[in-house]
Copies of this chain bind each other. A is one copy, B any other.
């Protein structure tokens, strides 16, 4: 009877924290999408909203950290319950980082609007950001539904994001060599591409937590690192 009571109290607390994770996830999805859109449409007002909105994401992470610590202290969860609580902390950490990257992208929008546009790069960046946003949505769905198959699907899709990044890296090098007046803009655009690629890594981190949570396996051992640009040589 008392056992039952404790389990219920734990579940109730955990549900409240998971609701915050979902709220945080919604804010982060919007930040990804808005930062990429502000870049493509050169909308400085929207970029400013993304920058200002990051504080709410950080605040939620802090709240989740406090609430999970309180949950551990109060309910002393063990085994699977403890694994769930610790994964919640990791997931909120990943979400916070993705929010940070969105803010960084929004910061660069202000600079890029002062420079002449570089071909169709911002549209390609928006497509890349869109892919990451969809992956995040699926990773969070996989978490709520405890669906390891969906989570593995998300992990597999990170490879495509890495490919998009590799293609953009080579494109930016070419633009810079063709015309040195593109150099400053391309340095910033390249940073943005790298930020989106890193967002993909953090979404993958969330999906890996889901697989671990449900199956006890750690899929990250097998994760392929497909950013090959660290060994790219394009001769100038």
Which residues of A come within 8 Å of B, CB atoms? 62, 65, 69, 72-73, 76-79, 82-83, 86, 89, 93, 104, 107-108, 110-111, 114-115, 169, 172-173, 176-177, 180-184, 187-188, 190-191, 194, 218, 230-236
Once A111-B231, A230-B108 are accepted as A-B contacts, the answer to whether A236 and B173 lie under 8 Å apart by CB is no
Does B72 contact A231, Cβ atoms closer than 8 Å? no
Does A83 contact B111, Cβ atoms closer than 8 Å? no
Does A236 contact B107, Cβ atoms closer than 8 Å? no
Does A187 contact B184, Cβ atoms closer than 8 Å? no
Instruction: Tell me which residues across on chain B come within 8 A of A108, comparing CB atoms.
Output: 230-231
Chain A facing B: main interface SS: helix
Task: Provide the bound-state CA to CA distance between A77 and B115, in Å.
Answer: 55
Does B111 contact A230, Cβ atoms closer than 8 Å? yes
Instruction: Tell me which residues across on chain B come within 8 A of A107, comparing CB atoms.
Output: 230-231
- A84 CB to closest chain B CB (Å) equals 11
Minimum CB distance partner of A185 in chain B: B236
Once A111-B230, A230-B107 are accepted as A-B contacts, the answer to whether A69 and B83 lie under 8 Å apart by CB is yes
Once A72-B72, A73-B79, A79-B73 are accepted as A-B contacts, the answer to whether A184 and B234 lie under 8 Å apart by CB is yes
Show 17 residue pairs from A and B whose CB-CB distance is below 8 angstroms, ordered by the A residue.
Answer: A69-B83, A72-B82, A76-B76, A89-B89, A93-B93, A104-B230, A111-B232, A111-B233, A115-B233, A173-B183, A176-B180, A176-B183, A177-B183, A180-B236, A181-B236, A182-B236, A184-B232
